[in-house]
A and B are shown apart, each in its own frame.
Chain A
């Protein structure tokens, strides 16, 4: 991948990629693998970008596709699957982010289904329902209801965690 392309077209959106990859991985090694794979896929499919959507939307879509594909591959018996099923207690999150609160939220997000994870990440990034539907590949009719349900599930999970920690 040319360094110019990386610096100009990927790095400014690294935050998006990091957040998505973070939500789909459980350790630093996998996180870095996913991040690199997303960057590579963006570079590979750069010529397919037809400017009908924002570049950032394009990046979201690729990042989600890559993460979901990687997750499926690993679930199918890849030897690296072990790192995906490590219990939370032994996961080293310290290298990726520092905020405990965010870690807590990520842990809650990781308990959602793969698609719900994508929906809530896009919602939290303030994407419109139409954009979320476009990225996910569904219609926007039930996105609102779905988000409401996901938020309540996240809140319950975090509250339960807080109660059990006290």
Chain B
């Protein structure tokens, strides 16, 4: 090596104009496509996770002696998988022939309507899930012992469905609370998993809108 690093660098860039800048093109097309691809990939994984999760749940519940609860949860999750697949297929059908901005806007509309559809189902899912869990708890041996203990501690003559009235009331109250906040709970859960990606999607759309309004 005969030249110093500095000389090599300086001589290499004597003719600076040959540092031709790449053309700015297609950046947003690629960015928006990557974003949509990523979200679709995450949704597809989520569907698989629900299927695998429900099978594991069925096996675990069977092992702990509650196969019917496992089956019940599987039945509850089945419509969710169907809704998810249907919704995901809809997203694949969104036209890619438009501008990347239009594509992202359409994708965002699809996302919002999809979330609304899921939310509707979750309003049923969470209360039904709670009913299943509560029923299993009541009919289990441990639950039976706990209820006996409860009756001994707080004796009452008013029994509903073989349960002390206050327990039924407490369960109904809990069910009402769960029903009321099911959608909020779903959105919180959704935000926990996809919040970062949804934020990026919004930022990208805002960015593109700002760029579209920038004077040329």
Contacts and interface: CB of A to CB of B under 8 A. Distances in A.
Interface of A: 1-6, 11, 14-15, 17-19, 31-33, 35-37, 39-40, 44, 97-99, 101-102, 104-105, 120, 124, 151, 154-155, 158-159, 162
Contacts of A124: 5-6, 9
Interface string B184-206: 00000000000000000000000
Nearest to A14: B21
Contacts of A17: 21
Nearest to B210: A44
B211 interface: yes
B210 to A, nearest CB: 9
**Candidate in A2, A5, A17, A32 with the most chain B CB atoms within 10 angstroms:** A32
Given A101-B8, A101-B11, A105-B8, 4 more contacts: A35-B22, A97-B12, A97-B19, A155-B5
B215 interface: yes
10 contacts: A44-B207, A97-B18, A97-B19, A98-B18, A102-B8, A104-B8, A105-B9, A151-B5, A154-B5, A155-B1
Interface of A, helix, strand, loop or mixed by DSSP: helix
Nearest to A78: B34
Contacts of A105: 5, 8-9, 12
Contact residues on B (Cβ < 8 Å of other chain), bracket: 20 to 34
A101 B12 contact: yes
Contacts of B11: 101
Given A101-B12, A155-B5, A1 B19 contact: no
A19, A120, A124, A155 pick with most chain B CB within 10 angstroms: A124
A162 B1 contact: yes
B1 A158 contact: yes
Contacts of B207: 44
B125 to A, nearest CB: 32
Given A2-B215, A40-B27, A151-B5, A102 B12 contact: yes
Given A18-B21, A35-B22, A159 B1 contact: yes
B122 to A, nearest CB: 31
5 nearest CB pairs, A to B: A102-B12, A14-B21, A32-B22, A124-B9, A2-B214
